[in-house]
Amino acid sequence: MSIRSVLVQLLLVIAFVGNALAISATGSRLLVVLDPSLKDEDYSLFFSDLDSRGLDLTIKAANDPSLGLFEYGERIYDHLILTLPPTQKALGPNLLAKPLLDFSAAGGNIVVVLNANEHALASVREFANQLDVFLPFRDTKLVDHFSYDKEASPLLHDALVLSPNSLLAPEIVSPTADDASKLLYYPGGSAFSLGNNQLLVPVLAAPETAYIYDPAEEATKSETPFATGSQAFLVASLQTRKNTRVTFVASNLLFTNDAFTKPDSFNRAFAAQLSAWTFAEKSVLRLESVTHRLVNSSELNPSIYRVKNEIEYEVELSRFTDGKWAPFYASDVQLEFTMLDPYYRLTLIPSSSSPSAQTYTTSFIAPDQHGMFSFVLNYKRPGLSFVEDKRVVTLRHFGHNEFARSFEIPNAWPYATSIFVVVAAWLLFVALWMFSANSESPSVKKTQ
């Protein structure tokens, strides 16, 4: 028994330490599926950055027969970087659209890196379509004849230089003031377009004057380009309703050592921040606790309230940053008290904070409407993980002994007074009747 308990304690300690040091909120097992045409050493800086952050890298070739995301139905990796081989056969059956979607639904995070020199495979195209991302036609290129990289592509104009200030999602990649003067190199490749999926967050769009064309067929002019200007996206992210994350990167050349080591290159920081967001290392929110109770009552989360009760609602939110949970502060967290429609929509006020969580509080008078109500917390902001909580309570009407007494209502005082006046007058009448002589009227005497 003692050995067993010691072992259990040891395991608990290991689990606790492992948890405390975790770089990601969901896990650190990362699978990199590398297209055989890409050389490992070309991306050594990118991989060493990932490794030094504490991720547990497994690099496998796309044609590795042992490649799989699940084992016995269990997810065996937490994150996936997928680069694309030239043929569908080389990708193998375990990385088709269905396994990728299952992996995402099972809690895995995915970065899909399109190959600048190859077309996107049908399976990945299908996976992207499921998420409302439309990958470019084969052999197309993104060009910009106005703001191209003059050194890298003086003739083809397909290498672009972008400013970190043009990034669209500050929660995902936020350049510092020092980064503003740096450059984001896009050494070539295509771009994709996005549908209307509300879960999509564009990260990097092409410049206004860029467009996608087919160098083989549209060398002189492109009449119906696949996407133009800021409708062509180079990087876009998506957060599913289960808070797993998927990022599409239009070109693998963004992450090469060459791009990382160019003068004033922002690519390395960009790659680090983008992968950190996708692998749930930042911008992850967690609902620590939800409590509601009557004001001045100690009973937590009762299942029933009465109409016109004063109710206090409190939530604790925390955010995963730098490997630990810290308070999450925002001024736009709202509570809805709903029965089909919201009867109240109240902004929660940040009250107190502990080292690991921020408390938000509000109180309100329950509406004069009995039924089944819910406390709904629905905090969804682009880039942040979604916080959703619903607590159903009963709102009952007044009990028969809970109404105010008439004597407490000034309106009723005239009525109450009249009762007492009538009773007093009655007493007087009874007294006068009893003590008055019976034969006073002469006519009564006469009739009697």
Partner 1 sequence: MAPKKQVKPPKSVVSKSGTASTSAGGVSGSSSPTVADTSAIIADVVKTYVRETPRKLKLVDAFMGFLVAVGVLQFAYCVVVTSYPFNAFLSGFSITVGQFVLAASLRVQANPENSSQFDKVSPERAFADFVFGSLILHFFAYNFIN
CB of residue 426 to partner 1, shortest distance in Å: 6
Give the whole-angstrom CA distance, residue 359 versus residue 45: 40
437 part of the interface to partner 1, by CB under 8 A: yes
Give the whole-angstrom CA distance, residue 290 versus residue 296: 17
Distance in Å from the first CA to the final CA of the chain:
113
Q: Work out which of 6, 21, 300, 430 binds partner 1, going by CB under 8 A.
A: 430
Give the whole-angstrom CA distance, residue 284 versus residue 387: 10
Q: Which is nearer to partner 1, 216 or 434 (CB)?
A: 434
CB of residue 287 to partner 1, shortest distance in Å: 44
Look up residue 64 and give its DSSP letter.
Answer: -
Q: Which is nearer to partner 1, 139 or 402 (CB)?
A: 402
Residue 401 Cα distances to 49, 285, 307, 397, angstroms: 69, 45, 14, 11
CB of residue 308 to partner 1, shortest distance in Å: 16
Binding mask 386-425 for partner 1 (x = CB under 8 A): -------------------xxx-x-xx-xxx-xx-xxx-x
Determine contact, residues 167/175, Cβ cutoff 8 Å. Answer: yes
Give the whole-angstrom CA distance, residue 280 versus residue 320: 8
Q: Which is nearer to partner 1, 180 or 422 (CB)?
A: 422
CB of residue 307 to partner 1, shortest distance in Å: 18
Q: Which is nearer to partner 1, 180 or 425 (CB)?
A: 425
CB of residue 435 to partner 1, shortest distance in Å: 11
Give the whole-angstrom CA distance, residue 53 versus residue 56: 9
CB of residue 400 to partner 1, shortest distance in Å: 11
Nearest-CA neighbor of 317 among 281, 378, 359, 361? 359
Q: Specify the amino acid at residue 249.
A: V
Q: Which is nearer to partner 1, 146 or 415 (CB)?
A: 415
Q: Specify the amino acid at residue 287.
A: L
Q: Would you state the structure tokens that stand for residue 421, as one six-digit string?
A: 């006046």
Counting residues that bind partner 1 (by CB under 8 A) gives: 31
Q: Work out which of 1, 3, 304, 432 binds partner 1, going by CB under 8 A.
A: 432
Pairing, β 74-75 against β 70-71: antiparallel
Q: Which is nearer to partner 1, 304 or 437 (CB)?
A: 437
Interacting span for partner 1 (CB under 8 A) from 45-53, 265-273, 287-295, 428-436: 428-436
Q: Which is nearer to partner 1, 196 or 447 (CB)?
A: 447
Q: CA angle at residue 352 from 350 to 355, to 5 degrees?
A: 115
Kindly list the residues in this chain that would bind partner 1 in the complex (CB under 8 A): 405-407, 409, 411-412, 414-416, 418-419, 421-423, 425-426, 429-430, 432-434, 436-438, 440-444, 447-448
